[in-house]
Amino acid sequence: MKELAIQEKEVNTRWQGFRGRLLMIKVKKGKTFELLTNNQVTPENIHEIDVIHLLKNGKTLTLKVDTERSKFGFEQNSTFEVPMFYIETRIKREAYHDYFLSEKELRNEQKNRQGSEGYVKKCEQ
């Protein structure tokens, strides 16, 4: 079977509910042109791809793909077909975003939490 490595910014993700699990990854139009040109993903071989590696901030997230449901479909408001991969790996939206946070973003998020907690304590006094 095949594996596909792709940057996180080159895909759109679809989630089940607001905090639900990852359902589908759709490749954006620009990357689709590249994949088709290099024959990495075509309508004939899309069912052979069983693993996708998402790359961001020097980190890699490996996701197992439901090969039977993978297909080329139309992007919203477009006549251009893009690859759509349904994901078998169960990962929640919150865990997904926490994994890809850079160290700097994580520190800023922690500072913001501490700052807001201090503000609440001052208001209570």
Percent of the chain with pLDDT over 90: 61
Confidence of residue 1 (pLDDT cuts 50, 70, 90): confident
User: According to the model, what pLDDT value does residue 124 have?
Assistant: 56
What are the counts of helices (DSSP H) followed by strands (DSSP E) for the chain? Answer: 3, 7
Q: Burial code of 13-41, b = ≥16 C-beta within 10 A, e = fewer? A: eeeeeeeeebebbbbeeebbeebbeeebb
Separation of alpha carbons 93 and 14, rounded Å: 10
- Give the DSSP H or E segment for 23: strand 22-27
Domain of 70, CATH number, reads: 2.40.450.10
Say which residue, 107 or 65, is predicted with more confidence.
Answer: 65
State which residues form the domain around 41: 2-124
The per-residue pLDDT for range 48-60, each reduced to its tens digit, is 999 999 999 889 9
The answer to whether the CB of 21 falls within 8 A of the CB of 90 is: yes
62/43 Cα distance (integer angstroms)? 22
Position 120 scores a pLDDT of 47
| Higher pLDDT, residue 10 or 77 | 10
**Number of domains into which the chain is organized:** 1
- How far, CA to CA in Å, does 89 sit from each of 3, 56, 65, 107? 15, 18, 7, 28
pLDDT grade for 74, boundaries at 50, 70 and 90: confident
35 Cβ contact list (under 8 Å, min separation 6): 27, 41, 83
